Structure 1
């Protein structure tokens, strides 16, 4: 006859204490947790629906990259062509490699000059002690972010005009020749990078200022007691405190290396600077909407996203190897 199993005993040996321990370790099932927070999921529903329709729904159209799209037959009725669209891009297209090189070069300039800009500005804001002045300057640097490139492009065309622009007027006053910044291929990339920094640098400081606010002030007090000046405090306290945020933003920026600023380039470039300004996104826009080459442009988009995904994984791995927290 099998004996009845004794109740597990706690550390003190009493069955009551063991029952209390089991009650403390008890966790409701995952579905019960979901049901308990059902109203929070209801608030999240519009966001999930938006992503389902506009982010995941279009994935259905990726098959166009492997088809010869015919409008009358639709996506499902169009014939499969395998890798023919990719073969055309990589071996027969006269513009693809030029466009890819322009995109990588412009993105590299944005990373080298644009990525450190909000970090430096956040460090400068962190050193300002006059609160009113700090708020005014922060507001002024934020404002361009809320203007679309349609508006800013008009402003830039006026400011940088070779005949009536204020920049060329000042250059002529000091004896320099006027420059058509938006029509000269030698200066167009420089203009794109500088204008992009001007527009987004203030907005980019928000994340870094939030990271600075999380640093324990006692660390600065201890550094002052030890005789550290402001530069050493920045070097040994502020920058290490910013490294996790910098690592995350760097991973995301590398993942978007094939996004060189579609809105900006589309509103500022002209046929005269296509050789240095035409990027993947504008190429897809021009080929897809004006020449109706939907299959080929879908292949370009798929290539772009696969490369971006691979870069995110690689950068995340390298960042984690340096001891920083990655995305996953």
Structure 2
């Protein structure tokens, strides 16, 4: 009898986990249950550039590196097929990281180890943009636009027979009778679903603007960034730890606008599409582990957790999904034969 697996959450982590599980266990019946989808998820507003920071960590440095490697090469493979990459919202993007303060800000040990091009800025490049820039790096990395990538994953999941249900869970207990294994990709929702008070909101706020003349990304010092996507430019940002404010804050708006237009004055004439606020599901360490989860009636559920990615959910989702699926397979009675790649 085929195993029944429920993935809780339909953000980029949940969808990545569900589609990878389909590839590895094609005979399993997989259902995604979530209260929010696509444009209503935190993933939808994410800029999606592949740029891991030092605050992204898994249980060990080895697992962290493996998840980043698996994610990078997952996205890198799309770029071998231009049409498929466009459908999925994935592209190469080049740009600059600048600082007037510290040389370490413009370095990234992981990117320097995997990218074909990551180099210090020349003196002339440091003078391209207004400001007293003492340090800078130029590199070419990958951008993943979730406005395309989330529908792409959803379509793939459904085409393989996956089931999607909209439901606001109050407890994982609700799933015990219907599923053999539950994969908890609920992001910030894990705070309530498994009483994990270490999951906290890291508030972010951005502008989405039309400025098709902007081709390169820019990161300036800490939280100022300009990221060209397929259809709009993301201007940000802020990282407000343990902030529960879900509304656009006019003071944050003014600060973001001033910082971005000071380094790229042509943005003053850009059309503002919208402003957006989201809570990144911050946790001191991404939780990817198995648990025999105790229910209120004294039973246990077989649960694999995959949440707490903070602001790095988009870039790390394929790798953490792969790791989580390996743990799910440990819970299943038999290991299925993966689908042929031919």
TM-score normalised by structure 2 residue count: 0.20
Considering Cα pairs closer than 8 Å and 6+ residues apart, tell me whether 1 or 2 has the greater RCO: 2
| TM-score, length of structure 1 as denominator length | 0.21
More strand by share: 2
Rg (Cα) greater in structure = 1
Greater share of helix residues, 1 or 2?
Answer: 1
